[in-house]
Amino acid sequence: MKAKPPEKSSGDWTDEERVSAVRRMFREITPRYDLLNHILSGCQDIYWRRVVAGRVPSEAELILDLASGTGDMALALARRTGAKIIGVDFVREMLAVGVEKSMRRGCSGRIAYLTGDALELPFADNIFDAVTIAFGLRNIPDKDRALAEMSRVVKPGGRVFVLEMTFPRNRQAKRFFHWYFKQVIPRLGGLISSRRQAYEYLPESIAGFLTPAQLADRMERAGLTAVRARSLSFGVTCLHEGTVP
Ligand SMILES: C[S@@+](CC[C@H](N)C(=O)[O-])C[C@H]1O[C@@H](n2cnc3c(N)ncnc32)[C@H](O)[C@@H]1O
């Protein structure tokens, strides 16, 4: 019998392999995604999205939430602003949970969910007052194109918000989170979701993501101005924001 070839680690994936693995993983972990987010982050994920929603200008009327997943960012925006929100994601199963939660919370009149790819947004130029992407950019190989698309659909003067996980810079915090990401998350995530590979990918994707300074640089290269980064929860998460000129 032929031996099974060893599985490639996510660091060795081609861009195409990454995109299909991301689609498959999110489809598979959909039923446990929200629960695991809250458990693994100690409910900090709720606070991080609230911070983003609190930074969106109060006069915003139309907001795009990209890589919307199960809709928690869109729901935080609906709670904090009076805007209409469109959530876009390329995994229909994740969006279906968002639709159901929005109905349960009485927000379905304010949030619409659409299946779509961050690299080819089905919108005209300059129509949104703001765009948010929470824990999504890390999963997109062509980050420059995603940032360019986000800037394209936002009106001049509108805002772009990127919320992402990072490794803290403080040495002790870094050591702790390294252990937590490498040892705890794959085991606990694997146990609860029965999809250990997805929770091995999570820390690998964080480790392989841009540093806050590199991300700020990419946002500037995408044409955004007044780019600022704000570190949250000991630097384990970072919120970048920029303005479309
Ligand atoms: C970690 S989840 C984040 C979901 C949500 N924003 C949140 O705060 O919980 C990442 C999401 O990005 C989506 N995604 C990844 N690449 C995408 C792409 N190119 N276009 C649209 N969605 C994408 C995945 O399907 C997944 O739902």
> How far does Cα 191 stand from its chain's mean position?
23
Residues forming a β-bridge with 197: none
Give the count of domains, the chain: 1
Q: Is residue 212 part of a domain?
A: yes
Query: What separation in Å is there between the alpha carbon of 199 and the centre of ligand 1?
Result: 15
Please give the angle made by the CA atoms of 213, 55 and 57, to the nearest 5 degrees. Answer: 125
What is the pairing mode between strands 111-115 and 84-89? parallel
Amino acid letter for position 33: Y
Q: Is residue 218 part of a domain?
A: yes
Q: Is residue 3 part of a domain?
A: no
DSSP symbols for 86-103? EEEES-HHHHHHHHHHHH
Mutate to test the pocket of ligand 1, among 90, 95, 206, 232 (most ligand atoms within 8 A of CB): 90
Mutate to test the pocket of ligand 1, among 13, 20, 22 (most ligand atoms within 8 A of CB): 22
Q: Over the chain (245 residues), what is each successive 10-residue block's mean pLDDT? A: 56 87 93 92 95 96 98 97 97 98 96 98 98 97 97 98 90 86 88 86 88 97 97 93 98
Query: What separation in Å is there between the alpha carbon of 95 and the centre of ligand 1?
Result: 10
Query: What separation in Å is there between the alpha carbon of 173 and the centre of ligand 1?
Result: 27
Q: Is residue 2 part of a domain?
A: no
Q: Is residue 4 part of a domain?
A: no
Assign residue 186 the CATH number of its domain: 3.40.50.150
Name residues whose C-beta falls within 8 Å of residue 16's C-beta, 6 or more positions apart in sequence.
Answer: none
DSSP, collapsed to helix, strand or coil, labels residue 141 as coil
pLDDT value of residue 25: 92
User: How confident is the model over 149-165, as pLDDT tens digits?
Assistant: 999 999 999 999 999 99
pLDDT value of residue 2: 44
Q: Is residue 177 part of a domain?
A: yes
Q: Is residue 1 part of a domain?
A: no
pLDDT value of residue 30: 95
Domain holding 43, by residue range, is 11-243
Nearest CA to 63 out of 12, 132, 114, 165 is that of 132
Q: Is residue 5 part of a domain?
A: no
Place of tokens 């991080």: 48
pLDDT value of residue 10: 78
Q: Which two tokens stand for residue 46?
A: 């709720």
**Neighbouring C-alpha atoms within 13 Å toward the C-beta of 200:** 10
User: How confident is the model over 195-222, as pLDDT tens digits?
Assistant: 888 888 888 888 889 999 999 999 999 9
